[in-house]
């Protein structure tokens, strides 16, 4: 028998200990335990998370600067769905929930492929997400944002863009929207869903339509099929939307419970083309006895017009747009409607066309065309080189109307942001809100052209709370005259103002606080314009395209009436008769406390200044 000295045994024992430690480390790399979860680290960019003790949610830690990870949801080892999420690498910005209740009684595993640049498994294990990936029976959606609007619609959490699929039925307005439930940046397009009885107080509902094998769920529209033309039932709600996968095609879904849940039509797609086409918008055309659908041929910068007897089989009738209006960006989110001409018994057709980029002040905006529609073809009254804008701010896009609205109203709402900086605005829990709802009609301008009149929907008046601040009439010169805004609700208010310019060349209306943060509006009589300047202070440096001065045509007249709506992150200005609207985001770090009036020369008179505090009564 061979004998070993202690000098011989020590190196051997050292190797045994090191080998044992490596085995232990490798066991840790292969699988880690977190309450109710088992995490398998399979590679530098690949992990498997098994749900062992299900709760209502899996909470996913998000870092917005992180690359997107692809998450495949395996149910009983079969792929049920996939989505992208920016799983935290260095720090956690916020958590988003994945709903596990839909898989009760089934085995759920998350197959995760990250986009990080980790060199090996051990480095990947240090990613911040793994420390806070957890199961929970609750998700805290309480507002933690200083810039969340008080009275504008916004999602509880996550990213929102285009409003779509909007309809009215049985006393409720339904608003769907492009929604990313897995982060506050664009991606994973679903149809989020909110409803309201008064266009002011919104109730949030579970996701309405989710991605499937044909792609994610882009914008579209919904109608109430009162006569069961589609065969899904009398009064069924029919939605047609863009399925965005490797290509874009149009799909149908139907609801038998007033839009709360949708069934995806098994014979999708219902419209396919070899061009990039999206955002179908449909309505019933009484004179032709058919459904009409407008489809945006985005890159062709055209709108394609289809007809159908049953919402399932569509015939292309014509196209409109080549060479008309603003052509600098893609055409999206159409809407076609017949509107009354104010003060007459006439009606004309209006085709709304949202464009990105190519807006009057950069980025996205909404233009429109006035003309005639015969059930097949839209004919524009205006010369091709003329562009008419629905709103002269930077933050009004994807404007579309509610179908089946009561009293034949034409009520629209738009996304209150701009594609230049929408992903960068200074919020985290959510991103983006919608504009105030607005009623539209046509009026004849002094040049004989027809233009859209845009006024806040009358329901907005119900926001007024408490006693109004009535400042009456006063005179203003080159030294500004200031009046206080309400102290309650952080100065959130509606300002009604009637100006008589007199000898002034320019009248300045300024919202400000004692930190010298301000938004300045200028009524320029010499140039017949109204402008809004948001370059002064506040948060503006998150994107180079955010600081801006926006300008609207505004006739120089003896009087100017203005309605200004101030929320935590926005100012919406309306000329009293709706001859212009201007919507801009603003991010003052302290609430505005005063409104002031001054002129460049001479004097002006303020006939009336009334300020109402605004509040949502839920």
Active-site positions? 162
Beta strands per DSSP E along 44-157: 46-51, 57-62, 69-75, 78-85, 94-99, 108-113, 134-136
**Under 8 Å between Cβ of 370 and 450:** yes
**Under 8 Å between Cβ of 185 and 204:** no
Token pair listed for 20: 């044992």
Q: What CA–CA distance (Å, rounded) separates 80 from 546?
A: 40
Q: What CA–CA distance (Å, rounded) separates 614 from 593?
A: 14
Query: Residue 183: left if φ>0, alpha if ψ -120 to 50, beta else—which one?
Result: left
Q: Name the one residue in this structure whose structure tokens are 């069934």.
A: 263
- Burial label, 142 (beta-carbon count in 10 A; 0-12, 13-18, 19+): exposed
**Under 8 Å between Cβ of 464 and 493:** no
Is there a cis peptide before residue 357, judged by omega within 30 degrees of 0? yes
Token pair listed for 207: 């996701």
Q: What CA–CA distance (Å, rounded) separates 101 from 83?
A: 18
């Amino acid at each position: 028998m061979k004998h070993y000295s202690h000098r011989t045994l020590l190196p051997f024992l050292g190797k045994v200990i090191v080998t044992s430690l490596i085995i232990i480390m490798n066991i840790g790399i292969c699988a880690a335990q977190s309450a109710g979860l088992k995490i398998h680290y399979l590679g530098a960019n690949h992990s498997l998370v098994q749900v062992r003790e299900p709760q209502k949610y899996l909470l996913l830690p998000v870092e917005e600067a992180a690359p997107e990870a692809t998450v495949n949801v395996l149910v009983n080892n079969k792929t049920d769905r996939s989505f992208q999420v920016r799983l935290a690498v260095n720090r956690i910005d916020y958590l988003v929930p994945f709903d596990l209740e839909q898989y009760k009684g089934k085995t759920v595993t998350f197959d995760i492929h990250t986009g990080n640049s980790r060199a090996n498994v051990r480095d990947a294990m240090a990613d911040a997400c793994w420390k806070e990936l957890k199961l929970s029976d609750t998700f805290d959606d309480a507002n933690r944002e200083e810039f969340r609007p008080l009275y504008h619609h916004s999602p509880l959490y996550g990213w929102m863009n285009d409003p779509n699929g909007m309809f009215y039925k049985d006393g409720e307005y339904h608003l769907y929207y492009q929604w990313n439930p897995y982060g506050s940046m664009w991606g994973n397009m679903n149809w989020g869903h909110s409803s309201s009885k008064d266009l002011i107080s919104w109730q949030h509902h579970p996701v309405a339509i989710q991605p499937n094998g044909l792609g994610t769920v882009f914008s579209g529209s919904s109608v109430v099929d009162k006569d069961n033309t589609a065969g899904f039932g009398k009064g069924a709600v029919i939605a047609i939307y863009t399925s965005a996968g490797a290509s874009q095609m149009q799909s149908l879904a139907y609801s038998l419970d007033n839009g709360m849940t949708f069934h995806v039509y098994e014979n999708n797609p219902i419209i396919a083309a070899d061009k990039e086409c999206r955002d179908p918008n449909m309505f019933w055309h009484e004179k032709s006895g058919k459904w009409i659908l407008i489809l945006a041929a985005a890159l062709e910068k055209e709108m394609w017009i289809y007809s159908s007897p049953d919402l399932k089989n569509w015939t292309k009738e014509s196209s409109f747009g080549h060479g008309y209006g603003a052509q600098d960006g893609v055409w999206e989110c159409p809407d076609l409607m017949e509107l009354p001409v104010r003060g007459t018994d006439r009606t004309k057709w209006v085709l709304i066309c949202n464009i990105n980029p190519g807006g009057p002040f950069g980025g996205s905006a909404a233009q429109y065309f006035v003309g005639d529609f015969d059930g097949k073809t839209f004919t524009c009254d205006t010369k091709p080189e003329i562009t008419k804008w629905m709103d002269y701010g930077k933050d009004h896009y994807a404007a579309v109307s509610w179908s089946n609205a009561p009293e034949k109203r034409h009520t629209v709402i738009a996304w209150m942001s701009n594609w230049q900086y929408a992903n960068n605005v200074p919020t985290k829990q959510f991103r983006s809100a919608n504009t105030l709802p607005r009623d539209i009609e046509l009026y004849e301008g002094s040049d004989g052209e027809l233009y859209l009149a845009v006024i806040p929907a009358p329901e907005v008046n119900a926001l007024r709370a408490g006693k109004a601040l009535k400042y009456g009439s006063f005179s203003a010169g080159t030294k500004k005259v200031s009046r206080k805004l309400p102290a309650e609700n952080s100065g959130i208010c509606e300002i009604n103002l009637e100006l008589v310019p007199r000898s002034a060349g320019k009248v300045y209306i300024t919202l400000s606080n004692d930190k010298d943060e301000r938004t300045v509006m200028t009524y320029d009589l010499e140039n017949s314009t109204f402008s809004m300047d948001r370059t002064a202070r506040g948060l503006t440096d998150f994107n180079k395209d955010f600081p801006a001065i926006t300008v609207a045509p505004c006739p120089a007249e003896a009087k100017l009436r203005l309605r200004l709506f101030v929320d935590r992150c926005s100012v919406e200005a309306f000329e009293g008769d709706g001859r212009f609207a201007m919507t801009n985001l603003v991010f003052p770090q302290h609430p505005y406390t005063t409104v002031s009036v001054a002129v460049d020369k001479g004097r002006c008179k303020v006939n009336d200044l009334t300020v109402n505090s605004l509040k949502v009564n839920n």
